[in-house]
């Protein structure tokens, strides 16, 4: 079935068809709120999902497929191909992307029910899913870049979906520009590689070229660091992380899709794609792992104080992506992709759960929630399980994947080696993760109900502040079934996926380390140089204990009130402000870098150049032509005879010329 690449193209094209039909046909003939669009999108994405499952099955049994590259465009001897690369990584990503996307689309039927731009929402979502599916199947780096940018554009459209809200428009712009900043690195990397050898843009050729003598250490380092910049931008790693929390302005279902399974994982996917090149260069590996490790605790620390449940989840996403980057940086390819898989499911469940919370309370602010346990028990349990999974509690899926990353860090452990520092950062991250997640859960679901969106509106009015448009009135009801079922399916995977996909010992039907084995079948990437990460009992115990300590601390502070932070402590207040302001990164970027440096300094120079130099050229050019015109206008006497005489003179000259020429 997968002998030709047509089924793979079908996976990409069916959401594109849905996008076109939605935006051209349904929007015009059935109105902007037609329910057909949702059903159509779900249908097409389920086609993609089915074919993705088939692709995974075939890849599992037959190994990776390399289809012939078609010529896209050429310039002289420089040729760019267009084709499909269906290897193990692609097959897994296809299943994750189309699966999570499918569930989010189903959830959106309920969540976006009353939105006026229902059709536009589904059109964007289809295009977004299609471009992400195209990204993971790209065979050529240029092709990958095109889809990469398409993901950026559609995420811009989705984050700014409610474009009449200024904050959403701003957040969309910020997300687009900051990821573009990283994409510059990606583009540079592509151009650098093309300048060395254009054939290397083809990814399978690149894998084979790694062993050639042409492919020096310098080339590998420059190329991988350049692509690292793109991945850092897309996956919201430090220092290009600040767009992701703002991107929560989009609809919650969009956040669930963008920040769990698709867009942010594109960065991780890219690094995994060029893994053979990165592993050639120690420098870029160290940079990658330290960026990842630092982002883990950096983002988690901001999540500790955030009162917006979606922002808590956003920081958590950044932090978990840091784990994946860290794992890739130390060469733990299998654990990183495994964590990507499990994280996609439990984080999507958490986001969708927070959407249900908003549906019920009318706010995302944890201060105005509370006591929702009795009102929405299903959401409570699903979010609780999701959080436990995220915190890494046995036997949920997050435990297994996070444990693999920690175990691979522990492999060659010696005191004060880079790996030991990374390991301690990762362990601190585990503690913070469990703490902030359970802080959010306890604040939202335990205690007394604190008024929801209605109360928050009143308070804001009292203080004379602007009321955000996300605030709605309180419903106080469990979410409808169409929103619950996708969450429950995601929770089901969040519980069972971890062990059954990559069991630590042989179980019936599934062999030991099935998932890692599947990934390591990719011969061009790994060759025979494969090492599995074994389950380490010690690490499991340590990480579980630390996670439980985090949960207990949250329980002690936010439910029982045994421990309370000293109110007037100077350091704690300052720290709180620092975290609340996100380490002042927005201020640094906007005020210092953009306003002070770029706008007032650098662009002042060009302004002066423009005003003094270029403008004057124009002015003098104009004056010059004016003078010439005045000079020529002397010839215009206004007498008809003068003009006629001139004409006759011309005729005479022509005639004389003819005569002289001929005789």
Partner 1 sequence: MTLDSLLILSAAVFCIGLYGILSKTNIVSTIMSIELMFNGIIIAAVSFSRFTPSALLMNNSFDVSSFALNTALSGHVFGVFIISIAAAESALALALVFVMFNKKSSVDIVDFNELKG
Partner 2 sequence: MSGNFFIDITFWVVSFLIILGSFYVVTARNIFRGAIGLSFVFICVAIIFFLLNAEFLGVVQILVYVGAVSVLIAFAVMFIKDVVDGSKYSKYRLLSAFLCSFLFFVLIFISQVTEWNSMDSIENEDALAGLEGFYFEESESGSILIKKAEVLSDGVNKGVFINSTLSIGSSLISNFLIPLQVIGFILISALIGSLTIIRQRRKQ
- DSSP alpha helix (H) spans, 566-633: 570-580, 585-587, 603-608, 615-633
Tokens of 443: 């604040």
Buried b (16+ CB within 10 A) or exposed e, 455-485: bbbeeeeeeeeeebebbbebbeebbeeebbe
Binder of residue 566, out of partner 1, partner 2, none (CB less than 5 to 8 A by kind): none
Of 258-266, 484-492, 558-566, 651-659, which segment contacts partner 2 by CB under 8 A?
Answer: 651-659
Burial environment of residue 60 by CB neighbours within 10 A (0 to 12, 13 to 18, 19 or more): middle
Least Å from the CB of residue 654 to partner 2? 10
Q: Among partner 2, partner 1, none, what does residue 655 contact (CB within 5–8 Å per kind)? A: partner 2
Distance between CA atoms of residues 54 and 14, nearest Å: 15
Q: Pick from 6, 626, 642, 650: which binds partner 2 (CB under 8 A)?
A: 642
Distance of CA 594 to the CA centre of its chain: 23
**Distance in Å, CB of 649 to partner 1, minimum:** 11
For the bound state, the minimum distance from the C-beta of residue 652 to partner 2, rounded and expressed in Å, comes to 5
Residue 656 near partner 2 by CB under 8 A: yes
Tell which one of 644, 653, 655, 658 touches partner 1 (CB under 8 A): 644
Separation between Cα atoms, residue 317 and residue 319, nearest integer Å = 5
Whole-number Å distance between alpha carbons of 421 and 64? 37
Residue 79 sits at φ, ψ, to 5 deg, of -125, 140
Least distance (Å) from partner 2 to the CB of residue 612?
51
Three-state secondary structure call for residue 118: helix
Binds partner 1 (CB under 8 A): choice among 61, 77, 633, 662: 633
Q: Which of 481, 563, 649, 650 binds partner 2 (CB under 8 A)?
A: 649
Closer residue to partner 1 (CB): 414 or 641: 641
* Omega before 239 within 30 of 0, i.e. cis: yes
Does 625 bind partner 1 (CB under 8 A)? Our answer is no
At 79 the three-state DSSP class reads: strand
The correct pick among 416, 636, 659, 661 for binding partner 1 (CB under 8 A) is: 636
- Piece of the chain touching partner 2 by CB under 8 A; list 211-219, 425-433, 583-591, 643-651: 643-651
**Of partner 2, partner 1, none, which one sits near residue 659, judging by CB under 5 to 8 A according to partner kind?**
partner 2
Burial bucket for residue 316 (CB in 10 Å: 0-12, 13-18, 19+): buried
One of 509, 528, 638, 662 touching partner 1 (CB under 8 A)? 638
Pinpoint the alpha helices (H) of 306-332: 309-329
Q: Which is nearer to partner 2, 6 or 649 (CB)?
A: 649
Contact call for residues 264 and 244 (beta carbons, < 8 A)? yes
Q: Which stretch binds partner 2 (CB under 8 A): 163-171, 220-228, 559-567, 642-650?
A: 642-650
Task: Say which entry of partner 2, partner 1, none residue 633 contacts (CB below 5 to 8 A, set by partner kind).
Answer: partner 1
Q: How far apart are CA 502 and CA 77, in angstroms?
A: 46
Nearer to partner 1, 78 or 643 (CB): 643
Nearer to partner 1 (CB atom), residue 569 or residue 637: 637
* Residue 638 touches which member of partner 2, partner 1, none, C-beta under 5-8 Å by kind: partner 1
Q: Does 645 bind partner 2 (CB under 8 A)?
A: yes
Q: Does 635 bind partner 1 (CB under 8 A)?
A: yes
Number of residues that this document lists for the chain: 663
Residue 622's binding partner among partner 2, partner 1, none (Cβ under 5 to 8 angstroms by kind) is none
Positions 600 through 639 that interact with partner 2 (CB under 8 A): 639
Examine residue 651 and tell whether it contacts partner 2 (CB under 8 A). yes
| Count of residues in contact with partner 1, rule CB under 8 A | 13
Distances (CA, A) of 3 to 6, 10, 58, 63, 191: 9, 14, 10, 12, 32
Tell me the CA distances in angstroms from 19 to 52, 261, 367, 459, 558, one per residue in order: 19, 20, 39, 42, 46
Q: Which residues bind partner 1 (CB under 8 A)?
A: 632-641, 644-645, 648
Q: Which residues bind partner 2 (CB under 8 A)?
A: 639, 641-642, 645, 648-649, 651-652, 655-656, 658-659, 663
């Amino acid at each position: 079935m997968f002998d030709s690449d047509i089924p793979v193209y079908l996976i990409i094209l069916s959401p594109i068809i849905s996008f076109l039909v939605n935006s051209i046909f349904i929007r015009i003939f059935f109105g902007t709120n037609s329910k057909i669009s949702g059903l159509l999108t779900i249908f097409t994405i389920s086609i993609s999902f089915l074919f993705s499952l088939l692709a995974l099955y075939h890849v599992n049994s037959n190994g990776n497929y390399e289809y012939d590259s078609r010529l896209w465009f050429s310039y002289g001897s420089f040729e760019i191909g267009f084709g499909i690369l269906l290897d193990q990584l692609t097959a897994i990503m296809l299943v994750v992307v189309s699966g999570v996307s499918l569930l989010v689309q189903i959830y959106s039927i309920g969540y976006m029910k009353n939105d006026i731009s229902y059709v536009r929402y589904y059109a964007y979502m289809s295009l977004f899913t299609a471009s992400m599916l195209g990204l993971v199947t790209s065979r050529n780096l240029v092709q990958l870049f095109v889809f990469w940018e398409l993901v950026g554009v559609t995420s811009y459209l989705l984050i700014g979906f409610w474009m009449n809200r200024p904050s959403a428009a701003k957040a969309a712009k910020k997300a687009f520009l900051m990821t573009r900043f990283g994409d510059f690195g990606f583009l540079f990397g592509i151009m650098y590689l093309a300048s060395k050898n254009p054939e290397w843009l083809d990814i399978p050729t690149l894998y084979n070229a790694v062993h050639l003598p042409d492919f020096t250490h310098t080339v590998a380092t420059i190329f991988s660091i350049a692509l690292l910049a793109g991945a850092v931008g897309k996956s919201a790693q430090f220092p290009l992380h600040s767009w992701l929390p703002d991107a929560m302005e989009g609809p919650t279902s969009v956040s669930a899709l963008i920040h769990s399974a698709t867009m942010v994982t594109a960065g991780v996917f890219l690094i995994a794609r060029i893994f053979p090149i990165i592993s050639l260069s120690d420098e870029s590996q160290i940079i990658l792992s330290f960026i990842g490790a630092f982002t883990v605790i950096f983002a988690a620390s901001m999540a500790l104080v955030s009162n917006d449940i979606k922002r808590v989840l956003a920081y958590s996403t950044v932090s978990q992506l840091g784990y994946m980057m860290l794992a890739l940086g130390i060469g733990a390819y299998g654990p990183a992709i495994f964590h990507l898989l499990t994280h996609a499911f439990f984080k999507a469940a958490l986001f969708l759960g927070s959407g249900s919370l908003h549906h019920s309370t009318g706010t995302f602010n944890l201060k105005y929630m509370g006591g929702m346990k009795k009102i929405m028990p299903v959401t409570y349990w699903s979010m609780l399980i999701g959080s436990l999974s995220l915190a890494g509690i046995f036997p949920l899926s997050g435990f297994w994947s996070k444990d693999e990353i920690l175990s691979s860090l522990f492999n060659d452990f010696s005191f004060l080696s880079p790996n030991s520092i990374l390991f301690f950062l990762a362990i601190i991250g585990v503690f913070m993760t469990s703490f902030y997640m359970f802080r959010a859960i306890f604040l939202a679901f335990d205690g007394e109900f604190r008024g929801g969106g209605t109360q928050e509106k009143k308070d804001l009015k009292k203080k004379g502040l602007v009321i955000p448009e996300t605030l709605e009135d309180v419903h106080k009801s469990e979410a409808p079934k169409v929103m619950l079922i996708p969450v429950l399916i995601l929770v089901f995977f969040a519980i069972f996926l971890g062990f059954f996909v990559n069991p630590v010992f042989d179980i019936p039907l599934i062999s030991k380390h099935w998932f890692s084995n599947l990934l390591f079948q990719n011969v061009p990437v790994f060759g025979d140089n494969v090492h599995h990460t074994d389950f380490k009992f010690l690490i499991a115990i340590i990480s579980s204990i630390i996670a439980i300590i985090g949960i207990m601390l949250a329980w002690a502070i936010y439910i029982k009130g045994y421990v309370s932070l000293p109110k007037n402590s100077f350091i704690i207040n300052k720290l709180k402000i620092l975290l609340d302001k996100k380490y002042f990164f927005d201020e640094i970027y906007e005020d210092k870098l953009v306003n002070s440096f770029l706008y007032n300094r650098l662009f002042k120079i060009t302004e002066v150049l423009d005003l003094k130099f270029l403008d004057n050229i124009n002015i003098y050019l104009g004056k010059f032509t004016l003078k010439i015109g005045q000079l020529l206008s002397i010839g215009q006497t206004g007498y008809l005879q003068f003009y006629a005489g001139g004409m006759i003179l011309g005729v005479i000259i022509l005639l004389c010329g003819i005569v002289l020429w001929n005789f």
